[in-house]
Structure 1
Amino acid sequence: MRKIIELQQQLMPDLTDVMKKRYNILQQVKQSDFIGRRMLAASLSMTERVLRAETDFLKAQGLLEIQPSGMRISDAGKQLLDEMEPMVKELFGLSDLEERIRRYFGLKQVWVVPGDSDTSLHTKRELGRAGCHALRKYMGTDDVVAVTGGTTLAQVANQLTSQAPLKGIRFVPARGGLGESVDYQANTIVSTMAKRTGAQYRLLHVPDHLGEEAYLSLMQEPNIREIVEVIRSARIVLHGIGDAMVMARRRKVDEAMVHAMKDEGALAEAFGFYFDRQGAVVHRMPTAGLRLEDIQAAEVVIAIAGGKSKAEAIAAVMRFGHDDVLVTDEAAALAIAEQFENE
């Protein structure tokens, strides 16, 4: 298959571009369920005139169903996407990119989805779908899975399914809450994951940002101590990655500490720890959730993060050296590859 694609790219490069364009249209319509032409054009950064010509062609092929109010993918279109999946990574040149990043950071596996989740909700959904694949691949029958919060992990939760109830699995929040939108809290995400798969879950009703005194007091509570012990026994950790300064402000870290972290070179945040460009931990806070030693002891650590804007942060956390799997998007992966090639 790879050889055929390489020949096609040499002899008919414009044909490959057309295939990519039409694949992206079908994927976006499928993800949206039902969508108008104007919204579809905006989400794909395409003019309505160009999009109209492409959707008319796809309708003529029986791949789209178009109505005055919008369009949806047909059963034939869904089948075509399923059949194309094995060749998509080769078509987009993502297989080589995955392998280069995997080798550079010494990871078990890298998944790269097409697009940039900074600018495309469709890509963010695909990131969530790939995160589901990664989790299902590594999850056993009686695992404890610790999960962080955030918009990307919420996408994973909303797409996670199981053919049979995962009664032996326990989903738990990796840390306490940030006091922001409940939809993106770790507690909400683990609850959604459990309900969609028939698994068990436990919640941690404490704030993420704790002072030393508050932390010590909370850890005296038997109920808190019991759930914390479950969290810290997690075999799998599923986490997002954020910009250090953005996450510090979301955690309401005081300005003096924010400036101190900036001076120390804090670039990335993951599971409540702050990393510099080389992957060294430059700041940590008392937490009732996962500690650094728990991350290091976990058998499988899966990072799910994308968007070109997060490339440096993702690379910093990968250099920490305790992630086994990275799920990211094309824009971030290309920027990461450019970064390590320039070093």
Structure 2
Amino acid sequence: MREILDIQKQLLPDLMDVMKKRYSILQHILVSGVVGRRTLASSLDMTERVLRGEVDFLKEQGLLETDASGMKISESGRRLLEAMEPIIKMAFGLTDLEESIRKAFQISQVIVVPGDSDTSTFAKKELGRAGAAALRKYVSKDDIIAVTGGSTMAQIANNLAISSKMKGSWFVPARGGLGESVDMQANTIASIMAKKTGGKYRLLHVPDHLGEEAYQSLIQDPQIQEVVNAVRSCRIVVHGIGDAMVMARRRKVDAETTRTLQADGALAEAFGYYFDRQGNVVHKMPTVGLRLEDLQRVEVVIGVAGGKSKGEAIASVLRHGQEDVLVTDEAAALEIMKHV
């Protein structure tokens, strides 16, 4: 396949450009669900006149459907996109990027989507779609799946659907989350994932981080202990990765701890643990839920994070060595490779 693409690039460079353009149009519509022409043209940085011609062609091929509400992908278009994905990834150079990161950090699979989640809503949605696809690939019947909070995890939840594989599965929050936006909390995301897939869920109604005395008190509660035991016996974990200082602000970490994090070189946060450039844990918050040591016996750990600004943070978490699968975007992947 690579040889054929190389020949096409040399002999028919215009054909490659047209293929990429039409793939991008179809992919944007797939991720958007239903979208109007003006909104799509703006997202693609394309004039409405040029887009109209491409949309007419794709519609004639039976790849798009249009009605008063806008454009949506047809079933034929959906199948074509699935078949084209490996070709497009190779054409964009994403396949090589995936393999470079996989080898550098010795993980099972790396999935890189086009774009930069920091600047593109589409890239963020595509990250969610790819994260949902990764979860579907690894899930098996009656699994316990622990999930963290955050906007990327919310996108993954939005891309799940009724699944016979997931119907018997339990979705649980990896940790507490009261105190931040409700729709971004792990509890909310676990419940949405369960409802979308036909699975079941348990909630953990405790703050995201606690003082030692409050932690010791809560962990003795029988109902909380029951949910915590379920969380710590999960087979799959799906989690986000955050920039350390951004997450410290979001978690309302006190000024003294924030200064300590900065002094210790904290770059990344995951599960309430803060990591430095070498992947060492430099600080941990007392949380009720999944602990770092629990990950050692979890069968599949899926990290999903993107955006150029998070590249170095993602690299530091990968260096810690607990990840099995990484789903990221092109901008983050290029930054990750600068820190290998």
Same fold, TM exceeding 0.5?
yes
Partner of 2:36: 36
Q: 1:68 to 1:286 in 2, by over 3 A?
A: closer
User: % of aligned pairs identical?
Assistant: 67
Cα drift, residue 333 of structure 1: 1.1
How many Å apart are 1:143 and its aligned residue? Answer: 2.2
CA shift, 1:69, in A, is: 6.9
CA distance in 2, matches of 1:118, 1:16: 27
How many Å separate the matches in 1 of 2:14 and 2:337? 25
SS of the counterpart of 2:171? strand
Amino acid at match of 2:19: M
**Separation in structure 1 between the aligned mates of residue 78 and residue 142 of structure 2, nearest angstrom:** 34
Q: Which residue of 1 aligns with 2:212?
A: 212
Distance in structure 2 (CA, Å) of the matches to 1:230 and 1:240:
20
TM-aligned CA deviation for residue 255 of structure 1:
1.4
| Partner Cα distance (2:336, 2:175) in 1 | 28
Q: CA deviation at 1:313?
A: 0.9
* 1:3 alignment partner in structure 2: 3
- Give, in angstroms, the shift of residue 58 of structure 1: 3.4
Match of 2:90 in 1: 90
* Pairwise CA RMSD: 2.0
1:185 maps to which residue? Answer: 185
User: Distance between the aligned counterparts of 2:66 and 2:135, measured in 1?
Assistant: 35
Judged with a 3 Å threshold, the aligned counterparts in structure 2 of structure 1 residues 63 and 200 are, in CA distance, closer, same or farther, namely: closer
Deviation at 1:170, TM superposition (A): 1.5
TM-score w.r.t. length of structure 1: 0.92
- Work out whether 1:273 is the aligned partner of 2:276: no
In structure 1, the gaps of 5 or more residues are: none
For 1:68 and 1:140, how far apart are their aligned partners in 2? Answer: 40
Task: Please report how far the alpha carbon of residue 109 of structure 1 lies from its aligned counterpart in structure 2 after TM superposition.
Answer: 0.7
Partners of 1:161 and 1:67 in 2: CA distance: 24
Q: How does 1:31-180 map to 2 (within 5 A)?
A: 31-59=31-59, 61-65=61-65, 70-164=70-164, 166-180=166-180
- Name the aligned partner's letter for residue 284 of structure 1: K
Task: State the SS of the aligned residue for 1:160.
Answer: coil
Distance 1:333 1:212, change over 3 A: same
Structure 2, unmatched stretches of 5+, are none
1:50 offset after TM fit, Å?
4.1
Mapped partners of 1:120, 1:80: distance in 2:
24
* Structure 1 position 233, deviation (Å): 1.5
Report the Cα offset of residue 141 of structure 1: 2.0
Give the match for residue 253 of structure 1. 253
Structure 1 pair 338/3, CA: closer, same or farther in 2 (3 Å)? Answer: same
In structure 2, what is the equivalent of residue 22 of structure 1? 22
What is the rounded CA distance, in whole Å, between the counterparts of 1:72 and 1:291 in structure 2? 42
Q: CA deviation at 1:80?
A: 2.9
Q: CA deviation at 1:300?
A: 1.5
**TM-score (structure 2 length as normaliser):** 0.93
- Aligned residue number for residue 200 of structure 1: 200
Contact kept, 8 Å, 1:165 with 1:199, in 2: the verdict is no
Question: CA 1:222–1:66 in structure 2 vs 1: closer, same or farther (change >3 Å)?
Answer: closer
Supply the AA of the counterpart residue of 1:37: R
Counterpart secondary structure, 2:303: strand
- Residue type of the partner of 2:265? G
137-146 vs 179-188, which deviates more? 137-146
Residue 331 of structure 1 deviates from its aligned partner by: 1.5
* Distance change >3 Å, CA 167–CA 34, structure 1 → 2: closer
* Residue matched to 1:314: 314
Partner of 1:331: 331
Alignment deviations for residues 137-175 of structure 1 (CA, whole Å, 9 cap, x no partner): 222223221110111111111212344263442211001
- Measured in 1, the distance between the counterparts of 2:196 and 2:73 equals 24
Alpha-carbon distance, 1:70 to partner: 4.1
Number of residue pairs the alignment of both structures matches = 340
CA distance in 2, matches of 1:260, 1:140: 42
Contact 1:165/1:198 (8 A) holds in 2? no
Give me the whole-angstrom Cα distance separating, in 2, the residues matched to 1:301 and 1:163. Answer: 20
Give the SS at the match of 1:142. Answer: coil
- Does the residue aligned with 1:287 lie in a helix, a strand or coil? coil
User: What does the per-residue CA deviation read over 1:261-320, in whole Å, with 9 as the maximum and x for residues that have no partner?
Assistant: 011111111111111111111110111111121122322211011111111111111001
Post-superposition offset of 1:99:
0.8
Question: Residues 224-243 of structure 1: matches in 2 within 5 Å?
Answer: 224-243=224-243
Partner Cα distance (1:275, 1:12) in 2: 47
Match of 1:332, as an amino acid?
A
